[in-house]
Amino acid sequence: MFTKDRWKEILEVLTSNWFRTILTAFGVFWGIFILIVLLAAGKGLENGIRSNFGDIATNTMFMWTQGTSMAYKGLPKGRRFTFKLEDVAAIRQKVPDLRFVSPRNQLGGFNGTNNVVRGIKTGAFNVYGDYPDIINQDPMGITSGRFINQLDIEEKRKVAVIGVGVRASLYDVGEEAIGTYIRIQGVNFMVVGTYKKNSNDGNAEEIQKEIFIPFTSFSQAFNQANNVGWMAITANDNSSITQLKEQIFTVVRENQKIHPQDLRAVGHFDLFEEFNRVLGLFKAMRWIAYFVGVLVLLSGVIGVSNIMLIVVKERTKEIGIRRALGENPWSIKLQIVMESIFLTIMSGMAGISFGALVIYLINYFLASNGPVEMFVNPSVSLGVVLVALIILVVSGLLAGFIPAQSAIKIKPIEALRME
């Protein structure tokens, strides 16, 4: 089937009219090129968005209180309430498949008033009361010292982990921060670690300017009793927080005596849902890329089919001679289909290679000119290339099929009469 003579013949036919062959090949080349580049661009955007989410645990939601919107059990509408540590315990106990339930308290530096003092330097920073788990939900790199641990929680130690941004505004360059004290709203805390978060998000500055202290110390120092400001809840990898969150709300409503239908009382932000929505967008984009690419490719394939029809027409007499000499019609069909597949694959490979080159150049410019927002490392996977190759083989087959059929449709005697 794939003898040397077969290949020789394919090459003879395709090289007998170079100009025409190259023009034909260009259609397929262009189609596959567009497909590859579109997919790579989609991937680049996707990578950009993913890196925007950073390392943050995406199967997470944040939950806070907003005041009731319905009267219930004698309690009035519009009642303010606060999460308590008992709510956290109840959630942990009653809702399965949760990985982390982190109560958090926050002292806002966001309103601009300076709340942290060290010697003569002052600054406005967000101060969080947290459990050690939070580092898994909102990952950060510890650049020196350590993060909050369980002992800090139990002994209510006055210790703090500060961001590199905080360090830069409260300390001189090269000054040792570990072991020094900072004063947060009048209470002294000892710095035990510094962190740096990984993100190329727009507010990259802001997230390096946070201070983490043990939850229990926060409660004690700032008189929060067993109040919980808000919660960050992460589900196990094999379940989805979007599906579990209703159960969580139910537990909270029971605990806080909120009307079961009161949907406004507890506010939340479902990161997982948001993340999946964005991922869904990229899935749709990928389909569009395939759609557009395949359509462009299709016009190339029709071009190949067209040319093969012309080639067959031109060779009608030759095909008649070959059949008179006793060539099997299947062998003639195979010959034409193989010519078509060969032409498609060759031009397709050229398209893939050229696409890869363009992607390489784009990456090269991105690397040398610094990152572009929302666009990171456009690339196509080996899987995509394989899919492209399969598309090529199939389309070559389709392109050759009709011409091959027409080659043996005409009777040999009529083919021989052709001039």
Partner 1 sequence: MIEIKDLHKSYKMGSNSLHVLKGINFSVEEGELVAIMGSSGSGKSTLLNILGMLDVLDEGSYTLDGVPIKDLNETKAAQYRNKFLGFVFQSFNLINYKSAMENVALPLYYQKVGRKERQEKALKYLEQVGLREWADHLPSELSGGQKQRVAIARAMAAEPKVLLADEPTGALDSTTSYEVMDLIQKINDAGNTILIVTHEPDIADMCKRIVHLKDGVIVEDKKITQVRASQYV
The C-alpha atoms of residue 61 and residue 268 are separated, in whole angstroms, by: 7
CB 43 within 8 Å of CB 355: no
Q: How far is the CB of 10 from partner 1 (least distance, A)?
A: 13
Nearer to partner 1, 8 or 146 (CB): 8
Nearer to partner 1, 150 or 328 (CB): 328
Q: How far is the CB of 42 from partner 1 (least distance, A)?
A: 46
Nearer to partner 1, 12 or 172 (CB): 12
Grouping H, G, I as helix, E, B as strand and the rest as coil, residue 312 is: helix
Look at the alpha carbons of 207, 211, 217, 221 in this order and tell me if their dihedral is positive or negative: negative
The C-alpha atoms of residue 16 and residue 57 are separated, in whole angstroms, by: 61
Write each residue from 275 to 314 as x if it is in contact with partner 1 (CB under 8 A), else as -, in one continuous string: ----------------------------------------
First-last CA distance in the chain: 30
Nearer to partner 1, 226 or 331 (CB): 331
DSSP secondary structure code for residue 219 in this structure: H
DSSP secondary structure code for residue 27 in this structure: H
Name 117's bridge partners. Answer: 122, 183
Grouping H, G, I as helix, E, B as strand and the rest as coil, residue 54 is: coil
Nearer to partner 1, 148 or 332 (CB): 332
Nearer to partner 1, 292 or 418 (CB): 418
Chain positions 347 to 386 lying near partner 1, rule: CB under 8 A, are none
DSSP secondary structure code for residue 208 in this structure: G
Chain positions 312 to 341 lying near partner 1, rule: CB under 8 A, are 317-318, 321-331
Q: How far is the CB of 9 from partner 1 (least distance, A)?
A: 9
Q: How many alpha carbons lie under 13 Å from residue 155 in its C-beta half-sphere? A: 8
Q: How far is the CB of 3 from partner 1 (least distance, A)?
A: 8
The C-alpha atoms of residue 371 and residue 219 are separated, in whole angstroms, by: 42
Nearer to partner 1, 256 or 335 (CB): 335
Q: Compute CA distances 217 → 105, 224, 309, whole Å.
A: 11, 10, 83
Nearer to partner 1, 154 or 318 (CB): 318
Q: How far is the CB of 324 from partner 1 (least distance, A)?
A: 5
Nearer to partner 1, 286 or 313 (CB): 313
DSSP secondary structure code for residue 237 in this structure: T
> Where does this chain touch partner 1 (CB under 8 A) — which range of 89-97, 167-175, 261-269, 411-419?
411-419
| Other C-beta atoms lying within 10 Å of the C-beta of residue 390 | 10
- Label residues 40-65 b or e (16+ Cβ within 10 Å = b): bbbbbbbbbbebbebebbbbbbbbeb
| Binding status of residue 413 toward partner 1 by CB under 8 A | yes
| Binding status of residue 405 toward partner 1 by CB under 8 A | no
> Where does this chain touch partner 1 (CB under 8 A) — which range of 256-264, 265-273, 375-383, 405-413?
405-413
Contact residue for partner 1 among 4, 18, 112, 261 (CB under 8 A): 4
Contacts with partner 1: how many residues (CB under 8 A)?
A: 22
Nearer to partner 1, 326 or 370 (CB): 326
Q: How far is the CB of 405 from partner 1 (least distance, A)?
A: 13
Q: How far is the CB of 2 from partner 1 (least distance, A)?
A: 14
Q: Compute CA distances 38 → 92, 291, 309, 364, 403, whole Å.
A: 46, 10, 31, 18, 31
| Binding status of residue 104 toward partner 1 by CB under 8 A | no
Q: How far is the CB of 392 from partner 1 (least distance, A)?
A: 27
CB 227 within 8 Å of CB 107: no
Q: How far is the CB of 346 from partner 1 (least distance, A)?
A: 20
Write each residue from 5 to 24 as x if it is in contact with partner 1 (CB under 8 A), else as -, in one continuous string: x------x---x--------
Backbone angles phi, psi at 325, to 5 degrees: -80, -5
Q: Compute CA distances 380 → 51, 138, 182, whole Å.
A: 17, 30, 50
| Residues lying near partner 1 in the complex (CB under 8 A) | 4-5, 12, 16, 317-318, 321-331, 408, 411-413, 416
